[in-house]
Amino acid sequence: MLEVLDLDLKTGKEEYQEAISRLREKLRDLQHAVRDCGVPVVVLFEGWNAAGKGDAINALVRPLDPRGFKVFTTQAPTLEEQFHPFLWRFSTRLPGKGELVFWDRSWYRQMLEERVDGRLDRSGALAAGGEIREFERQLSDDGVVVIKFWLHISRKEQERRLASMQSDRFERWRWTQPDWKKERGYKKYLQAAEEMLALTSTVNAPWKLVEAHNRRYRRVKVFEHLTETLASRLSRQGHGRKTIGRPMQAVEDIDEEIRSQGLQVEVDSKPSVLDQSDLSKRLDRGDYEKRLSGLQQRLRDLEFECYGRRVASVVVYEGWDAAGKGGNIKRLTQELDPRGYEVVPINAPTAEEKNHHYLWRFWRQLPKAGHMTIFDRSWYGRVLVERVEGFASEEEWSRAYQEINEFERHLTVEGVVCVKFWLHLSPEEQLRRFRARERTPHKRFKLTSEDWRNRVRWNDYRRAVTEMIERTSTPYAPWTVVEAEDKLWARVKTLSTLVTTLERRLGV
């Protein structure tokens, strides 16, 4: 199977730029369609060490909304995972409806590596392949789109890349003795890979073989297959071709009475810490592009430094509706390795979450050492929306300030960097953005009656925000109020704050 691939295939620079621009736009539209239709998507990458799996995932997620996907890297199973069936750890990380999950190695790692190491004989490999086929068939039958890539390179090319990685300080952490072992046993791995691919390429979850010598060719082929498969599967699963690439519409009818009440908001004259923000701050496009690029590259360097030194970080985004949290998060993560961070959008708690202490669901989302978790809204909902809307009693939200401070102090004592942003704008600018969303088809879904209802209670939220900042801005986890009237300024300020905080923590 793999011997028929032409590893000399290449894509020229101009051809690549034209294709990748078109494909990124198509994938961005498809993510909207996936979310709109509630379709779960699993994209997994297998292949040789240094074949470019991480680069392919990086390229794919760049145009996507980071709140709608997750990236997992499969390592050797932990002690706890070894006490469960081998598919358990993957089953617990499957995407929800409308989500995409990317795997850098997956459930095939065990089947391939144990076969080569001799821990799995041929009959065991056949049994494992059967379990995987059944697992993927169940996913497909339930509407999950399963897309599988095998990235192939020659032995000579692998040797060259592994040597290059060893001399690169940002890639050296990936260099392990097992990598050398796999390189020396190339023929044995090739045989095991051929066996695995033939055994597990099915109608519902076929393998896509990718010639991975040329980076531009590899990226374009991966993009093309992913977009074509998603569009085809969405259509076949009954969502219709008209949905694909069509701008999303409003998810609900706006309550006109609530909307009319929200058109005029008079801000309470009582002094607030928010009044210290200078909302006139602006950046011109040229200065913004220059500063943004430099900060993004610096943050990427710090991401690798944090991974090497096992420093975890938590970034919290709170702010007014339409303050630009989503766009801000996207620029913050744009140049990062997606295997090192996760964006967690927080919605109303589920029935299971309501049966626990309100911090329970956040404990479950905290990053492991060396990784970063970005919360789009957070545990501060307890003293904001739950307080204002009456979902928590006064006793509950009053004691939450101390509980939150203790929670964050525990994180920082354990070495976690905690950075918190409140994105602040005026009610006049919020109204302008609401109206712009109403006029823009692909943004209309973002605006709901609840947004207008929250706007009606602007002063109630303003008092809650003021008390939140005053009572939970601590030396170990201070709040940064970000002037978000100008989105360009806000993006640069959050990046600059995070970079400075990580540099201070790392002493670099």
Query: Which residue spans of the chain are classified as CATH 3.40.50.300?
Result: 2-243, 279-506
Residues of the chain below pLDDT 70? 169-184, 237-253
Which one of 3.40.50.300, 3.20.20.80, 3.90.1640.20, 3.40.1260.10 gives the CATH number of domain 279-506? 3.40.50.300
Strand order in the sheet with 417-424: 341-345, 372-376, 313-319, 417-424, 479-483
Q: What backbone phi and psi angles, to 5 degrees, belong to 420?
A: -125, 130
Place of tokens 């709140």: 67
- The DSSP bridge partners found for residue 71 are 102
- The Cα-based distances of 304 to 46, 95, 311, 414, 463 in angstroms read 23, 26, 10, 20, 40
Please, are residues 44 and 106 in contact by the beta-carbon 8 Å criterion? Answer: yes
Q: What is the pLDDT of residue 445?
A: 80
DSSP secondary structure code for residue 321 in this structure? T
Q: What is the pLDDT of residue 241?
A: 44
What CA dihedral angle connects 446, 451, 455 and 456, to 10 degrees?
150
Q: What is the pLDDT of residue 181?
A: 55
**What is the third-level CATH fold of 2-243?**
Rossmann fold (3.40.50)
The three-state secondary structure class of 118 is: coil
**What's the residue count for the chain?**
508
pTM over 0.85: yes
